[in-house]
Amino acid sequence: RRSLRTFSWGGPAWEKRVRNSARVRASNGISVLVTGAAGFVGTHVSAALKKRGDGVLGLDNFNDYYDPSLKRARQALLERSGVFIVEGDINDEALLKKLFEMVPFTHVMHLAAQAGVRYAMQNPASYVHSNIAGFVSLLEVCKSANPQPAIVWASSSSVYGLNTKVPFSEKDKTDQPASLYAATKKAGEEIAHTYNHIYGLSLTGLRFFTVYGPWGRPDMA
């Protein structure tokens, strides 16, 4: 079993920051846990949700797949907007359970994942750890949460694999992944279907193509 990095969390001051960040400001607002909140997409989503009055709590492990200083800069940006990012791993079920005990999240935006096609050949275990085991850890907590949150999560256009038909369609076959990264995202789609079927979890997967813009990932430039 892969060991988790050690993160320090808990205590009265930490709990206060969690609750303040997740507090809904708008009368019709929602409360959202954003995993991968220090990532490119996660930062923009967190800021947009907070701006419209939703409660937003971030979660990120600040790994070193690319320069963590960029993630820290995004963290500082979100702090100024009132979004607190909890430092932790989605495989830490004790942390996830604690967050859901403290906050009645209505939604989860699950963007935490090990990205990159080429890096999968160098560190394959990190993809299984994050994209499969981490996803299951999150769903295990969500299935028993009250309320049971609706989940939007990041799949990938990579699931289309060796398909040559264009334009792509959600109805296209996705049974020929061309990388381990793609295979883990395909596995995620099957896992999502299973948790919807068995536990009634509301799950919507987004097959992102290349995403770019301000504060973007260096490897996508």
Q: Which CATH number characterizes residue 52's domain?
A: 3.40.50.720
Active site residue 160: no
Q: 114 lies in a domain?
A: yes
Q: What percent of the chain has pLDDT over 70?
A: 96
Q: Which pLDDT does position 109 carry in this prediction?
A: 99
Domain that holds residue 82: 12-212
Q: Which pLDDT does position 193 carry in this prediction?
A: 98
Q: Which pLDDT does position 145 carry in this prediction?
A: 98
Q: Which pLDDT does position 2 carry in this prediction?
A: 47
Is residue 156 a contact partner of residue 185, using CB atoms and an 8 Å limit? yes
Q: Which of 181, 195, 199, 212 is catalytic?
A: 181
Say how far apart CA 51 and CA 82 lie, in whole Å.
9
β-pairing verdict for 203-206 and 84-87? unpaired
Task: Point out the residues of the chain with pLDDT beneath 70.
Answer: 1-6, 219-221
Q: Which pLDDT does position 171 carry in this prediction?
A: 85
Burial (CB count within 10 angstroms: exposed 0-12, middle 13-18, buried 19+), residue 171: exposed
Q: Which pLDDT does position 1 carry in this prediction?
A: 43
Q: 74 lies in a domain?
A: yes
Q: 121 lies in a domain?
A: yes
Q: 218 lies in a domain?
A: no
Q: Which pLDDT does position 218 carry in this prediction?
A: 72
One-character DSSP codes across 6-30: P----SHHHHHHHHHHH---STT--
For the chain, the domain total comes to 1
What predicted TM-score, i.e. pTM, was given to this entire model? 0.92
Q: 58 lies in a domain?
A: yes
C-alpha dist (Å) from residue 8 to 3, 86, 154, 217: 15, 10, 27, 26
pLDDT one-digit tens code per residue, 4-32: 566 778 899 999 999 999 999 999 999 99
Q: 93 lies in a domain?
A: yes
Q: 7 lies in a domain?
A: no
Q: 54 lies in a domain?
A: yes
